[in-house]
Chain A
């Protein structure tokens, strides 16, 4: 028993190593800080430049991250929050915990779509339907074809009430179909194998061969090509354009190390951070990189048109759109 207690104490206290250097605390989602995620490499690269300690605090995902901030309010220990997406920034702003960092953001492919002063983009990827070459021959070439296609070729989606890609697809449908969205959903629902609570569940079902299509990201095939050396999975390019997920970070007003935090945000859009994004976070870098993108990225589809709705409109309509989706798909 004493052995266990002492182990517990070690577990509990190993979290706060004493240190004279200033500590920069960054809240992020947990896949960012795994061994194979960008977190450890970014920490190493940044600590070389700052004479500080970078502490990641990992919270399940972007939505949980925002809820954590709402619970903590001004007592939050975060200096920076990294990992919200554009659909969450209105609620994030409403917490009044963020302030503009005033850093120079280099221009990128998404600058025209996203230029918020407070929430700075660090990576992005358009959503896409990923299809399995071993299970189907002719993937849909448009959202319309997906909706109208054969009902025996199913797709796995995520629930917009619990998952960010799920919400992204809901907005995608709404952006393309507008008032006709309920009819489109009704048609599409015949092709839906299931709607999972999160991305992980749907992607596992998909790679297990339960359905030939899944909603994921344009960049997903890059993982399979680079890490698994297979071209079995590909993204379907849709004529209407692809809805975009942009991941952003923001400076906390009440943080203790604001200068350090601003310095980090500047670092975030520089190669020291951005070079790790393509093969560790499997997204497109939103800032400057030194290394060129891996060759496999050249094989990815590049959408003709990127779609993004004003976060205010999303925030005002989210509940109504979800209700509309529920009504159309739950029979």
Chain B
């Protein structure tokens, strides 16, 4: 009897602590996002012009265009990412596979403007395609095509990697079964792959959609004119020359509402993860070996690979034209690199801590809490950075020099910005692990740090390090937040790059972009190395 009570109590404790941690993380996210919102709203001098906004024909056009380009961009990115991920999953051993997949994480980390310039290196008026074809084709991508190409460049590799990581978790038993039954490729997709993809598809789609929905620099720079504008631009504009916090808050609420509706729909379609308890051991897939499969897969990988790698190559070649040695011996550059790495490192740690805390508190995937976590991890993406920045400025400037809070704000906002990515990498892996041995571990009474060290970390090392690397690379490439809070003292690599572009120093900027890309690749490479090393 007494023993039974003790068991129940330790069960309770095992559930209470993660819950407290989870709710604290949620509260923290709500505070950072909605606190800024509320603070900005207090400065609304002209009220909240909701009816005016709804009757504004131009704004209506903007909202329609925002949704239209975001839908097209995400449908294309996801539509291409699924077969690409499948090709990578089937061909698991070709030379260069790992390097290519590392390159696939790179666009995500590039500031939008750098990505735009990279894309133009391939597709632009003076880009390689136009140069090679001479005046034969002589095309211009400015307009919707440019927006779509750039969005696919940023999101296809991201979505491919996310889909691939779930395909790679398909248990080996399934493949054994498939090979015994001599399943054709179609059936394999239908019965083995699709059920797995289906569980992550709504989340990945929502992520890509939100990234495109709030796209700013890409849409304006490549859009060709004011008819290609997103709601994000309108929000930014209302806090620039007009400085109208009421309008900004109202527009941001509209953007948030659109996202909420979208997320609600995506939850509606989210399926629970199938039980994938498995012994980890590699087995070649039965459908990978046929000649036609190889031909098809490699063709797809080459096309997607070129689409992603060639703009990056253009970036590298441009970067080599800069005086890299001089850059690397400039104190300002070295300081920026150090600052960038410290800020990104801390942001990645905070991001993972928040993500871990929220995910560990999920008991049932269908619970309201689980959905709240999913929502909370993404909400920051649709919070315009300028709203966050101005809001926190209003809140903090009474307590002293806002610049002394700057590193902290940059870290916190960057950590939250990386959260949706970390969540999508870590979430499925953690669910799978807890399905596999969660009950056993709990019944053995292993909790807290011991559980993390002995059970979770060894099993989840790979997704944890991947999520960490993604979060760090993402923070390293941030320009939105640092542009608001940066100063001479706190200057990161992307900010220095942007300042160089702002004072004609194009070559320096190209060199800095190359350094940034190298730094991101080093992070991804290190994380990969660490995840393979034995304990």
Contacts and interface: CB of A to CB of B under 8 A. Distances in A.
Interface of A: 1, 4, 7-8, 11-16, 30-31, 33-37, 56-58, 60, 63-64, 66-68, 70-72, 75, 77, 91, 159, 161-162, 167, 189, 192-201, 203-205, 207-211, 220, 223-224, 227, 282, 318-319, 323, 325-327, 329-331
Contacts of B342: 4, 7-8, 11
B403 to A, nearest CB: 6
Given A58-B488, A195-B224, 19 more contacts: A4-B342, A4-B345, A11-B339, A11-B407, A30-B487, A31-B499, A64-B240, A67-B239, A71-B394, A159-B220, A159-B226, A162-B241, A193-B142, A194-B221, A194-B223, A195-B225, A210-B125, A329-B226, A330-B225
Interface in B473-511: 483-484, 486-490, 498-499, 501-506, 509
B235 to A, nearest CB: 11
Contacts of A31: 499, 502-503
Contacts of B236: 162, 197
Contacts of A58: 486-488
Given A4-B342, A8-B342, A194-B224, A210 B120 contact: yes
The 9 closest A-B pairs by CB, nearest first: A209-B126, A330-B227, A200-B501, A161-B237, A330-B226, A223-B504, A200-B502, A197-B220, A194-B224
A30 B499 contact: yes
Contacts of B483: 60
A203 B254 CA distance: 33
Nearest to B506: A207
A57 B403 contact: yes
A31 B509 CA distance: 14
Given A58-B487, A330-B61, A8 B221 contact: no
A16 to B, nearest CB: 7
A299 B111 CA distance: 37
Interface string B339-350: 100100110010
Contacts of A11: 339, 342, 407, 489-490
A63 B240 contact: yes
B165 interface: no
A192 B498 contact: no
Contacts of A91: 243
A34 B499 contact: yes
Contacts of B406: 12
Contact of A15 (B124, B125, B489): B489
B407 A12 contact: yes
Interface of B: 43, 58, 61, 113, 116-117, 120-121, 124-126, 140, 142, 216-217, 220-227, 229, 233, 236-237, 239-243, 330, 332, 339, 342, 345-346, 349, 390, 393-394, 397-398, 401, 403-408, 483-484, 486-490, 498-499, 501-506, 509
Given A30-B499, A60-B484, A195-B226, A208 B220 contact: no
B390 A194 contact: no
B108 to A, nearest CB: 20
A152 B342 CA distance: 48
Contacts, number: 171
A207 B217 CA distance: 18
B220 A195 contact: yes
A162 to B, nearest CB: 5
A241 to B, nearest CB: 24
A67 B342 CA distance: 29
Contacts of A37: 503
A137 B242 CA distance: 40
Contacts of A282: 503-504
A214 to B, nearest CB: 12
B221 A208 contact: no
13 contacts: A7-B342, A60-B483, A71-B390, A75-B397, A162-B241, A189-B225, A193-B224, A197-B233, A197-B236, A201-B221, A208-B117, A208-B121, A326-B58
Contact of A4 (B43, B346, B408, B487): B346
A193 B221 CA distance: 10
A208 B61 contact: no
Nearest to A322: B241
A71 B393 contact: yes
A16 B224 CA distance: 44
Contacts of A15: 401, 403-404, 487, 489
A204 B117 contact: yes
B407 A330 contact: no
A6 to B, nearest CB: 11
A72 B117 CA distance: 36
A197 B121 CA distance: 20
Nearest to B45: A70
A203 B501 contact: yes
A63 B401 CA distance: 20
A14 B489 contact: yes
A318 B503 CA distance: 27
Nearest to B229: A330
Contacts of B140: 193
Contacts of A205: 117, 120, 221
B251 to A, nearest CB: 13
A194 B225 contact: yes
Contacts of A203: 501, 504, 506
